[in-house]
Amino acid sequence: MVGGANCPQCGAAVEAAMPGLPVTTCSSCDAMLVISDGQISAVGDSGRVPFDVSPLQVGTTLQVEGARGEIVGRERWGWERGSWNEWLLYLPGGDLRWVAEESGLYMVMSPANPRSDVVNRLKEIDRHDNAALGMTVQHENTVYTVADIKTIRCIASEGHLPEVITANFPRESIDLRTGDGGAFTFQSDRNGASCWVGRYYELAELRPGNLRAMEGWNRPRFEVSA
């Protein structure tokens, strides 16, 4: 981590920035903070993460693609029919993965760089809204089927993050799936468009450590000791 600082909004101590992650949040006043060149500035409201029963937390470790990383941040996203967590996993060497919780499964995603014609097709699908459900898109050698198209908003965030996403930040999202657990996501917002590719996992497959302690919940046998 780089440097230490106090929140310019409330004066509380905040964690130092991590390499490649210039954004952090103040747990005292929920300010979203950017740390750059030794300077810290408040750039908006991070929101307050609501209570949930996720077994994950900032500090949980997961094993992905043979490497063990640590969850260092979280964004909580929602739409009119529900909400979910997206956890930022920091791997050795600074590689990042987003881990989204969905119906008891964990979607681990990394950045993708599809061809321009694939991106153009995704943008066209986005304009069709729900009429595009069931359409297919091929990325590299895999064909994905459009499963969901919706407008989402960031409810809140915490910890270390790669970019400024304040509370109530809107985003268009297209989720595509394969029959064997593959996943592809296209997202667009005022900052631009991005693509993500990965797959779904059972929690046990990720060999978690330092899971969240909750009253009445027995820790799973597959949890890795610290």
Residue 3 has pLDDT above 60, yes or no: no
Q: What is the pLDDT of residues 4-30, one digit of tens each?
A: 689 999 999 998 889 999 999 999 999
Three-state SS sequence of 127-138: HHHHHHCCCEEE
d(CA 39, CA 67): 33
Which pTM was predicted?
Answer: 0.94
Task: Count Cβ atoms within 10 A of the Cβ of residue 9 and give its class: 0-12 exposed, 13-18 middle, 19 or more buried.
Answer: middle
The helix/strand count (H/E) of the chain reads as 1, 15
Q: What is the pLDDT of residues 115-148, one digit of tens each?
A: 999 999 999 998 888 889 999 999 999 999 999 9
Q: What is the pLDDT of residues 32-75, one digit of tens each?
A: 999 988 899 999 999 999 999 999 999 999 999 999 999 999 99
Residue 182 corresponds to which tokens in the numbers above?
């593959």
Residue 203 has pLDDT above 50, yes or no: yes
At residue 79, φ and ψ (nearest 5 deg) are: -145, -170
Phi/psi region, residue 128 (left: phi>0; alpha: psi -120 to 50; beta: rest), is alpha
